[in-house]
Amino acid sequence: MSIKDDPRLSLLVGGKSVGARLQMAIDAGSVTRHSDGALELTVPDEALPSRVIGSHFIMHYGEFRRPCFFLNRFLFKHAYGESAVPFNCRNCYKVNIRAENLRQLVAAKGITETTGYTAKSGMELDEPNQRIYGTYIYNLGLDRARAVYKEIRALVDRHEKLGPGVKMVIKRGCTNYEHKCGPSDRYTFDPGLNDVETYLRSLFRRKARPVAQKVSKSIQDGITLFKMVEAAYRLGDDTYKDFTGGKELFPSVVTYSPDGDASTRLDTGSDAATEK
């Protein structure tokens, strides 16, 4: 039986059945269906060139284990064709600390690591929003998120590298959901999706990483921080020097005056130039 004819996937989402959407993804080569019926992403995020080792985020694992890869990358994108928010995302609320630079981001990460909450901190270079740095603390339920917000707000306010000027918000689910499905306070959820998601979860297989990529979390986090230092340097964020012993990541370049013989060495930390 083809997946589009599976009666357990006959629920309509955005005008097409879940089975039909998955068949489209299989035909397009985005999803692989194995002989035993198992489903997996043909090219998962980890295999993309920018994410061979690590990611743009450093995770802190707490009591809440988030199945976001299945729910967002597989279910939302392919099974639902980005036309419905997964039922099992309906109670996900995140406390977002909106750091302005790498120094603040790492300080916010340090706060989350003193808690029992699941959180991620990183640079949102590949994410569809206008912010660069973000720490997200995951919660089930808005009431829980509000309580965590107040706790973390007090810690941020007292932190010497953060303070009351650092903005914090509570948001629902993932940003790409709102981009595709509209404001999160207007989401509706068909209860039938719960059975669909339970069934697909039993079929979903996440591609194992190659042995060469299986490194310890501490090494992975170090690689991610180094990537963030490089990105901060390119963005003109001089707080990256907090993590290089105060040294420039690369030596400044020499430029030459169009009006004389003197050369000028650029100060990579500002627009000012000093005569050499």
pLDDT, tens only, 241-274: 999 999 999 988 888 888 776 666 665 554 444 3
If you average pLDDT over every residue of the chain, what do you get? Answer: 88
Instruction: With a cut of 70, say whether residue 275 has pLDDT above it.
Output: no
Query: pTM to 2 decimals?
Result: 0.86
Residue 197 is inside which H or E element, if any? Answer: helix 192-203
Instruction: Determine how β-strand 119-123 pairs with β-strand 167-172.
Output: unpaired
Q: Give the tens place of pLDDT for each residue, 82-125.
A: 999 999 999 999 999 999 999 999 999 999 999 999 999 999 88
The backbone region for 156, taken as left when phi is positive above 0, alpha when psi lies in -120 to 50, beta otherwise, is alpha
Confidence grade of residue 214 (pLDDT, cut at 50, 70, 90): low
Report the alpha-carbon distance of residue 224 to residue 24 in Å, rounded: 35
Report, as an integer, the average pLDDT of 31-54.
71
Q: Can you give the pLDDT at residue 234?
A: 93
- Type and span of the H or E element at 123: strand 119-123
- Relative orientation angle of helices 217-234 and 102-112, to the nearest 10 degrees: 150
Q: Which long-range contacts (CB under 8 A, 24 or more apart) does 23-31 make?
A: 24/81, 25/78, 25/79, 30/78, 31/74, 31/78
CB atoms within 10 A of CB 255: 12
The pLDDT assigned to 262 comes to: 65
Please tell me the distance from the alpha carbon of residue 180 to that of residue 191, in angstroms, as a whole number.
Answer: 20
